[in-house]
Amino acid sequence: MEVEGQVYCFRCGAPAPRGATYCPRCGAPLDVHYVLRPPRPRLTPSLGLALTVLGAALYALGYTLAPLWLVPVLLESSFYLAVFGLGVMASATLWRWLKPWAIEPLFLVGALLTLVEHVAVFTFHVEAPTLLYLFKAGIALMAASTAAWLMARREARLLNIDVVKSRWPFASSLAAATLMSLVFAAGAPSALGVVEALAAAYTVGVAAWLLWHFYAPSVFKAYLGLSSTEEAVMVDRGLTREETGYAFTDILLRASTLALMAFSILVFGAQLFDPQLDLSSMGTLVLLAKYSLAAEVLLGVFGPPAYWLFEALDLRVLDRASATLEKASPIGFLDSMVDLFAALGFLLTIRDVTLSITPPDAAPALYAPLAFFNAILLLYYYASIVLPPALVATALYHKYSFEKQARWLLDEIRPRRLEEAAALLAEPPGASRS
C-alpha cells in the first residue's frame, strides 16, 4: 500500500514526507535513497510453518537420502528446527492478535519443559531416552520466544504500533530464575538441598544488585571521566519511555551479557593458567560456575550496569581543545566491537567444549557435529547455575535502580544541548564561556 506524498527510510523503515533530507527516526540520508512501500511484517505464522516443514523435511531426509555421517546431525538439528518453527508460529499468531506480551511466557513454558525432564530423570529416576527430547524442545522454545519477541518489537516500531509489549517483566524474570535454578537443583539429594540451591541463586543475585544499586553511578562517572576541556552533550530531548522501559526479554538478554562476561573472563583466565584445561569434565564446569558466581558479584559492577546507563543516556563528549564531538562510551572505539567479541567468544567456547568432548580416536566428520549439540546441552546446564543470579540482579536493578540512576546522573552531569555545543564550537578559541 503506497501513501501519496510519503516515502519510507531504506534503513529503518520509518515513514517520512517526500523530499525529506534525513530520516526522522534514524537519521539516514533520504535524499540519496528511499523506498516507496512501507516495510512488510516478517513475523508471520507462515514463517513458523515454513521452519517446521523444513525441520520435518530434514528429518525425513535424515532417514532416507543422507549419507551416513550426516544422519545424526540432520536428525538432531531438524528436531530443534521444527520445535523452533512451532514456537515462531505460536508467537506470530499472538502477534497477529496484537498480544506481543503473550510471546514472552513461552520462554517460561520452555524452561518448565527442561525442568520437567530433569525432575523426571534425576529426582524420580524415570528411564526413558525420549524424555531428552522434552529438554531439547524446551531449549528450542526458549530460543523461539526470544527471537520472535525481538522481531515483534522491531515490527511494532517500524509500523508505529503502540501496544503493550511486555507484562510482568519483574515477576517473569524471577520465575525464569527460579525454574532454571530448579533445573540445576533437580539432582539435589534432599528437599533442603533444593531450598539451598534457590537460596544461593537469590543471595548472589541480591548481592550483585546491591553493589550496582550503591555504586553503578560512581562507576559511570569514573568511566565518563571528563577533563577540564571536555563537556557532556545530550543529543535527544531526555530519557524516553523507550529508553527506560524494559521487558522480560531485555532483562534476559542483559542478564545473559553478565553471565557471558563472567564466563568469558574466567575461561580466558583459566586457559592462560592451564592450557590443558578440560572444559568437558563436570569438575571443571562446577569450578568455573563457582568462580563465575563470584565474578558476577565482584566484577559485575564494573561492566553491564554502567554500560546500560551509557546506552540509555546516549551522551556525547565535546572536547573544546580539539573541537571534536565523540560518543561517550566506557570503552571508546571498542564500543561497536563488544557484541562481535561476545559472539566470537561464545562460538569459540562452544568449539572448545565440542572438541574436548570428542574422543581423540573418533572420526571428526561423524562425531564432532553431534558433540556440538551435546555442547549446547552442557552449556544450558552451566547457564542454569550462572544465569539465575544474573536474572535476579538485572531484574532488581531495572525495577528499583536503573531509571532513578539515569535521571540522577542527568541532574548531576547537566549535559549541554546539541545546539549549545555547536555554538560553543563556533566560538573563536580562547573566547570566554557564557
By CB under 8 A, name the one of 408, 422, 423, 427 that touches another protein.
408
Select the residue interacting with another protein from 214, 274, 331, 351 (CB under 8 A). 214
Closest CB 217 distance from another protein, rounded Å: 4
Shortest distance in whole angstroms from residue 335 CB to another protein: 24
Instruction: State yes or no: residue 405 binds another protein (CB under 8 A).
Output: yes
Over the window 368 to 397, marking each residue x when it contacts another protein by CB under 8 A and - when it does not, the resulting string is ----------------------------x-
> Closest approach of Cβ 198 to another protein, in Å?
8
Considering the rule CB under 8 A, would residue 209 count as an interface residue with another protein?
yes
Our CB check for another protein shows the closer of 137 and 313 to be 313
Rounded distance, CA 132 to CA 338, Å? 35
Complex with another protein: residue 267 or 375, whichever CB lies closer: 267
* Dihedral Cα 287, 293, 298, 299, nearest 10 deg: 90
Per rule CB under 8 A, is residue 362 in the interface with another protein? Answer: no
203 binding another protein? (CB under 8 A) = yes
By CB under 8 A, name the one of 291, 302, 346, 381 that touches another protein.
291
| Out of 74, 179, 211, 309, the residue judged to bind another protein by CB under 8 A | 211
Q: Which is nearer to another protein, 298 or 343 (CB)?
A: 298
Candidates 22-30, 151-159, 197-205, 245-253: pick the segment binding another protein (CB under 8 A): 197-205
Of the residues 61, 71, 156, 210, which one makes contact with another protein according to CB under 8 A: 210
**Taking contact as CB under 8 A, which single stretch among the options 44-52, 74-82, 204-212, 372-380 is the one that binds another protein?**
204-212
| Amino acid present at 256 | S
- Write the secondary structure of the chain as one string of H (helix), E (strand) and C (coil): CCCCCEEEECCCCCEEECCCCECCCCCCECCCCEECCCCCCCCCHHHHHHHHHHHHHHHHHHHHCCCHHHHHHHHHHHHHHHHHHHHHHHHHHHHHCCCHHHCCHHHHHHHHHHHHHHHHHHHCCCCCCCHHHHHHHHHHHHHHHHHHHHHHHHHHHHCCCCCCCCCCHHHHHHHHHHHHHHHHHCCCCCHHHHHHHHHHHHHHHHHHHHHHHHHHHHHHHHHHCCCCCEEEEECCCCCCHHHHCCCHHHHHHHHHHHHHHHHHHHHHHHHHHCCCCCCCCHHHHHHHHHHHHHHHHHCHHHCHHHHHHHHHHCEEEEECCCCEEEECCCCHHHHHHHHHHHHHHHHHHHHHHHHHCCCCCCCHHHHHHHHHHHHHHHHHHHHHHHHHHHHHHHHHHHHHCHHHHHHHHHHHHCCEEHHHHHHHHHCCCCCCCC
Measured from the CB atom, the residue of 298 and 321 that comes closer to another protein is 298
Among 206, 239, 265, 325, binds another protein (CB under 8 A): 206
Q: Please, which residue, 82 or 396, has the CB nearer to another protein? A: 396
Q: Is 199 in the site for another protein (CB under 8 A)?
A: yes
Closer to another protein by CB, 256 or 405: give it: 405
Rg (CA), the chain: 25
Q: Binding of another protein at residue 297 (CB under 8 A)? A: yes
- Whether residue 130 contacts residue 112, with contact meaning beta carbons closer than 8 Å, is answered with no
Q: Whose Cβ is closer to another protein: residue 195's or residue 425's?
A: 195
Least Å distance, CB 406 to another protein, is 11
Q: Which of 208, 247, 258, 390 binds another protein (CB under 8 A)?
A: 208
CB of 197 to another protein, least distance (A): 8
Residues at the interface with another protein (CB under 8 A): 192-193, 195-196, 199-200, 202-211, 213-218, 290-291, 293-294, 297-298, 396, 399-400, 404-405, 408
